[in-house]
Amino acid sequence: MENDGHLFVEKRKLVKRWKGPIPVLVNTVVILALFYLTWWIFQDPRGLMRLYTPFKGYMVCRWLLIMFIWIAYIFNFWPFKQSWLRKTHPVVKGLVLTGISVLLLYIVVQGFFVNILGNLGIAYFSPKRLVELGITEFYAEEYSYIAIMMFAAIASWISPAWVVACENAPWQNLKQPVRGFTVLIVTFFISMIIYFITMHPHMGILHHTWQEFAAVTPPYWERFADTVSGNFHIAWIMSATVIVWLYETIWERYPFNLIKTNWLRRTSSFFGIFIIAVALAFFLYFAQELSWGPAIRGSRRLMAPDWRWLHVGEMAIFWLVPSLFLYFFLDNWPKKFSRPVNVLIRTVITIAAAAILYIVYYKTSHLFLGTQEGFSHPQQFPMIPMIWLINIFLINYWFMDGWPGWKLSSSFSSGSAESSVVIEQEESITSTKKLVYGLAVGFLIGVAIYFLIVKFLPWWSTVFTIIESN
């Protein structure tokens, strides 16, 4: 039971404490209250700790997200026994597991990145080292935290992708903590390789003169991204982070879960997530050109290519918030149709909700979050409050079993049995004309939607203004 290979968050059954929409409403109030209270204490520039500089706060919330993923998905709550997870009060569990996450965050960031890498290997990981080299304290911290944060951004895609897409293979039959440490080491190593070929060149051009003996300068992506900034990689990496969780939640691992062959399903899932993410990133960049006109290299803020790539990641994260809310608190509605129809409806609903959240955020965030008004102001970083809110979601749903609106049932499933039944029912269509017909219709609908958006967005941007100036 403790090491049967299934995640605790998959096996448990949560039941509502009250009938109707009351649990959803209660949890929404609790989550928003907790979000704003913790935001004021830790992040708000007008609050107590004022971590929103913005990159110090961004680094903290990013690594906190990674710790939650490691605890719930990589280690499956090891070393805690499932009897403790079942019997302990949700509030106690939330405090204990969140406290451990904060401790691990400090050990990884301060112990590994700052003290080991920064002091013994790569100076830009250590703010103190950069100050000694003549950089002002503020920029020394911002440069260091950008580097540490971007490693977390990569890991927040690779770590869950190995569990969700690769199904922990080839170590899925190992027991904890051996499986957890194995997956952690492998994904950490892969994340480090990706970091050094994506963000290390970016760090090399932040300092005068460019560090051409330590990094490739100008970076190779300048030829096709129209910028030397690493924001180009933030765009697709953030999109990959979003897509891997959409695939796990509202898409129910569809359609790659229809592939019977294990190695082909896992490989297709992993690289399929990557391809969808890259396509999404380039589409969102194109959408900005349709709305605001072509980017101009050498300009700043809204018209600059580097900010446009950054905004791709910001736009993507707005999609993840309603998707997780739908999955966690609305029982992944709807469920009564076929798998493809359910996935399509959820996708449309969450895209619409993301657009509404995007508009509301940019119209109001400066009023209560301490950010600055405008799309491209250097102090306007929507990924930070959005990921902070997602962290609160995860504490409530993963650590606290949805308390107070939900409670843990005494009965447990044998893992993802329900989804396995659906998969078995749908696997019979993998080689039929019906599947080919569905793929063809889906492709045509996708093309039609693409051209509709291309036609619609320029008109929409002329008649509807979210904010008057930047």
Decide if 274 is inside a domain.
yes
Q: Report in angstroms the alpha-carbon separations of 152 from 109, 147, 168, 229, 356.
A: 10, 9, 20, 18, 28
Residues 6+ away with beta carbon under 8 Å from 32: none
List the chain pLDDT tens, one digit each, 470 residues: 455 568 999 999 999 999 999 999 999 999 999 999 999 999 999 999 999 998 999 999 999 999 999 999 999 999 999 999 999 999 999 999 999 999 999 999 999 999 999 999 999 999 999 999 999 999 999 999 999 999 999 999 999 999 999 999 999 999 999 999 999 999 999 999 999 999 999 999 987 788 888 899 899 999 899 999 999 999 999 999 999 999 999 999 998 999 999 999 999 999 999 999 999 999 999 999 998 999 999 888 889 999 999 999 999 999 999 999 999 999 999 999 989 899 999 999 999 999 999 999 999 999 999 998 888 888 899 999 999 999 999 999 999 999 999 999 887 665 543 444 344 444 444 456 676 777 788 788 888 888 888 888 888 887 777 776 54
* Calpha distance 138→124 (Å, rounded): 13
Closest CA to 156 of 65, 290, 49: 65
Two structure tokens written together for 162? 């190995």
Decide if 430 is inside a domain.
yes
**In which domain, by residue range, is 110 found?**
8-463
Do 224 and 233 touch, CB atoms closer than 8 A?
no
Q: What is the per-residue pLDDT for 2? A: 57
SS3 for 127-163 is: HHHHHHCCCCHHHHHHHHHHHHHHHHHHHHHHHHHHH
* Calpha distance 42→52 (Å, rounded): 8
Kind plus residue range of the DSSP H or E element containing 332: none
Q: What is the per-residue pLDDT for 298? A: 83
Decide if 442 is inside a domain.
yes
Decide if 3 is inside a domain.
no
Q: What is the per-residue pLDDT for 376? A: 87
Sign of CA dihedral 164, 166, 172, 175: negative
State how many domains the chain has.
1
* Calpha distance 47→39 (Å, rounded): 8
DSSP E strand boundaries for 293-418: 406-408
Question: Which residue blocks in 165-250 are alpha helix, DSSP H?
Answer: 178-198, 200-204, 222-225, 231-248
Q: What is the per-residue pLDDT for 423? A: 46
DSSP state of 42: I
Buried b (16+ CB within 10 A) or exposed e, 24-63: bebbeebbeeebbebbbebbbeebeeebbbbbbbbbbbbb
Kind plus residue range of the DSSP H or E element containing 19: none
Q: What is the per-residue pLDDT for 417? A: 36
Do 342 and 335 touch, CB atoms closer than 8 A?
yes
DSSP state of 282: H
Q: What is the per-residue pLDDT for 428? A: 44
Q: What is the per-residue pLDDT for 424? A: 43
Q: What is the per-residue pLDDT for 101? A: 98
pTM higher than the cut 0.75: yes
Decide if 308 is inside a domain.
yes
Across-strand partners of 15?
Answer: 407
Across-strand partners of 408?
Answer: 14
* 3-state class (DSSP) for residue 274: helix
* Calpha distance 311→362 (Å, rounded): 13
Q: What is the per-residue pLDDT for 470? A: 47
* 3-state class (DSSP) for residue 262: helix
DSSP state of 75: S
Decide if 307 is inside a domain.
yes
Q: Which residue carries 């993410």 as its tokens?
A: 277
Closest CA to 104 of 145, 60, 141, 73: 60
Decide if 310 is inside a domain.
yes
Q: What is the per-residue pLDDT for 458? A: 84
Q: Report in angstroms the alpha-carbon separations of 95 from 82, 89, 98.
A: 17, 10, 5
* 3-state class (DSSP) for residue 216: coil
